[in-house]
Structure 1
Amino acid sequence: MTADHNHKHNHATVRGHAAVLDIANLDTDQIMPKQFLRGIDKSGLAPGLLYDLRFDGAGQPRADFVLNQPAFAGTDVLLAGSNYGCGSSREHAVWGMQQYGFQAVVASSFGEIFYSNAMNNRLLLAMVAEADAQAFRHEARAAAGPLAIEIDVAQRQVRTAGHSAPFTISERHRRMFLDGLDVIGASLTYRDQIEAFAAQHWAAQPWVRDVARLTRDRLRA
Structure 2
Amino acid sequence: MHDKTSIEGIAAPLLIDNLDTDQIMPKQFLRTITKEGLDKGVLFDLRFEPDGKPRADFVLNRPEFKDTRILIGGPNFGCGSSREHAVWGLQQLGIEAVIAPSFGEIFFSNALNNRLLVIALEPEQIATLLQELAISNHHLCIDLEKMQLQCGSQTFDFTLAARHKQMIVEGLDMVGATLHMLPQIEAFEAKHDAACGWAKVLPENGEVHA
TM range (shorter): 0.7 to 0.9
Which of 186, 191, 202 lines up with 1:207 in the alignment?
202
The CA distance in 2 between the partners of 1:32 and 1:154, in whole Å, is 31
Which of 121, 141, 156 lines up with 1:150 in the alignment?
141
Match of 2:208? none
Identical amino acids, percent of aligned pairs: 50
Which of 166, 178, 185 lines up with 1:187 in the alignment?
178
Contact 2:163 2:177 in 1 (8 A): no
Deviation per CA, 1:190-219, whole angstroms, max 9, x where unpaired? 345557849x69x954437xx7xx9xxxxx
Measured at CA, do residues 45 and 107 of structure 1 come closer, stay the same or move farther in structure 2, by a change above 3 Å? same
1:13 aligns with 2:10: no
* Matched residue type, 2:84: E
* Matched residue type, 2:157: P
The CA distance in 2 between the partners of 1:184 and 1:68, in whole Å, is 36
1:167 aligns with 2:158: yes
Contact 1:33 1:50 in 2 (8 A): yes
The number of equivalent residue pairs is 200
Which of 27, 32, 39 lines up with 1:34 in the alignment?
27
Which of 98, 101, 106 lines up with 2:91 in the alignment?
98
* Matched residue type, 1:207: L
Does 59-68 or 180-189 show the bigger shift?
180-189
* Matched residue type, 1:125: V
The alignment's TM-score, normalised by the length of structure 2, stands at 0.84
How far is the alpha carbon of 1:176 from its aligned partner?
A: 2.4
Match of 1:217? none
Name the Cα RMSD after superposition. 2.7
Task: Provide structure 1 residue ranges, at least 5 long, that are not aligned to the other structure.
Answer: 1-8, 215-221
How far is the alpha carbon of 1:106 from its aligned partner?
A: 1.1
Deviation per CA, 1:116-142, whole angstroms, max 9, x where unpaired? 1111111111111211111122333x3
How far is the alpha carbon of 1:93 from its aligned partner?
A: 0.5
The CA distance in 2 between the partners of 1:128 and 1:20, in whole Å, is 14
The CA distance in 1 between the partners of 2:68 and 2:74, in whole Å, is 17
Contact 1:128 1:168 in 2 (8 A): no
